[in-house]
Amino acid sequence: DFVDCGRGSGLRFESGDPADFRIEADGTVLAARTLQLSDRKGRSLEIKAKDVKSQEQWLVHVNFTQPKQ
């Protein structure tokens, strides 16, 4: 969650896996194509936020899990 990073203004987001995921300007994560969760098993998505003014950076890892049924 990047809510407190730079107060939400002037942030640039980068996906660690741009072939599969893109990050909108507001931080929304979108799949770039249809994916199978089994293909992502044991892998995480790295998302970086960078304040363009201060150059401060934040990093988060998103883990993929099966939904509970």
Domain count, the chain: 1
CATH number at residue 42: 2.60.40.60
Report residue 64 as tokens.
């993929």
End-to-end CA distance of the chain: give it in Å, rounded. 25
Specify the pLDDT at position 48. 94
67 within a domain of the structure (yes/no): no
Nearest-CA neighbor of 3 among 61, 49, 46?
49
Q: Are 48 and 6 spatial neighbours (Cβ–Cβ below 8 Å)? A: no
Specify the pLDDT at position 3. 59
Task: Tell me the per-residue pLDDT of 4-56, one tens digit each, with 9 for 90 and over.
Answer: 565 556 889 999 999 999 999 888 899 999 888 777 777 889 999 998 888 99
Q: How confident is the model at residue 68 (pLDDT cuts 50, 70, 90)?
A: confident
Q: What predicted TM-score, i.e. pTM, was given to this entire model?
A: 0.74
Quote the domain boundaries for residue 29.
5-62
CA gap 11, 63 in Å, rounded: 22
68 within a domain of the structure (yes/no): no
